Amino acid sequence: LETTPDTSADAGRDFTAIGVVGLGTMGAGIAEVFARHGFAVVGVELSEESVARGRQYLEHSTGRAVRRGKLTEEEQAELLGRVTLTTSLKDLADVDLVVEAAVESMATKQAIFRELDAIVGPDTVLATNTSSLSVTELSSATSRPGRVVGVHFFNPAPVQKLVEVVRTVVTEPAVLDDVQALLGRLGKSPVVCGDKAGFIANTLLFGYLNHAASMFEGRYASREDIDAAMRFGCGYPMGPLALLDLIGLDTAYEILETMYRQGRDRLHAPTPILKQMVTAGLLGRKTGRGFYTYE
């Protein structure tokens, strides 16, 4: 655990305070990553209930690290002490970077970006954790499109090393360099890509996940056997159906829909069972039931 941000890297910009908007699975995980590395984090949610859920996630996740001997209780308390949770975007006035991790809705995200643009300082970088929406379109809601980037973390954010840094045609090269250096300080492995739905990893991953759901839907094999095939035959850490449950079926459906709408092939047309499960509230781990049932 670092107690102050490591600014020893050769990078230009010295980020110290980070804002995170949205404290769902991804936002809370991202807040944890920054706090673990010594950054002051201000997390914003819509309601006190959502703030409480975000706090619970942070306590649970860091508690697991304590139980596994990765953090001492004292370090956990320090880490949690670096995170301020609030319901007002105005509390982000002094941060150097905001990572927006709200719901996958262009209208919601644009409204947040517009509001943030008026609150934060002129040099503050506005980043979005969107999985599939256009970063360019989001940036157009601000007066600083050159200082807007995508920073797409993977679930679980504290564990997965990859972060896709999405550049638009107007993102300033210095901002890209600074953000990559910052992610390096978090122990992440950033990759850079252009602004197309799915970016690199989801474009490759979601056709496969969709196909697995369709195979299950057609009763070709059981969920356990589909997952076992990919784990034991191909060395994946989880099978595709368990992974869909981890990602959340609602999120997976939205990502596939967006990729399909952007004119990619039928590979990304969401297989009907996904929509049915979402409508029935079987969203995966977060609701206790998806392809599998969770305690």
Residues 183-212, mask of contacts with ligand CAA (x by CB under 6 A): -------------------x----------
Task: Find the shortest distance in angstroms from Cβ 120 to ligand CAA.
Answer: 25
Residues between 121 and 140 that touch ligand CAA (CB under 6 A):
131
Spatial CA neighbour of 58 closest among 120, 71, 17, 288? 71
CA dihedral 177, 165, 85, 32 (to 10 degrees): -90
- Selected from 52, 70, 105, 111, the binder of ligand CAA by CB under 6 A is 70
Q: Which of 152, 210, 257, 268 is catalytic?
A: 152
Residue 198, Ramachandran bin (φ over 0: left; ψ between -120 and 50: alpha; else beta): left
Which residues share a beta bridge with 289?
284, 293
Closer to ligand CAA by CB, 117 or 250: give it: 250
Paired sense of beta strands 83-86 and 125-128, if any: unpaired
Residue 248, Ramachandran bin (φ over 0: left; ψ between -120 and 50: alpha; else beta): left
Closer to ligand CAA by CB, 83 or 92: give it: 83
The verdict on 247 binding ligand CAA (CB under 6 A) reads yes
Spatial CA neighbour of 166 closest among 112, 111, 129? 129
Closer to ligand CAA by CB, 68 or 266: give it: 68
Task: Find the shortest distance in angstroms from Cβ 170 to ligand CAA.
Answer: 24
Q: Are the C-beta atoms of residues 147 and 206 closer than 8 Å to each other?
A: no
The verdict on 156 binding ligand CAA (CB under 6 A) reads yes
The verdict on 258 binding ligand CAA (CB under 6 A) reads no
- Which residue ranges make up the site for ligand CAA (CB under 6 A)? 61, 64, 68, 70, 131, 154-156, 158-160, 202, 237-238, 243, 247, 251
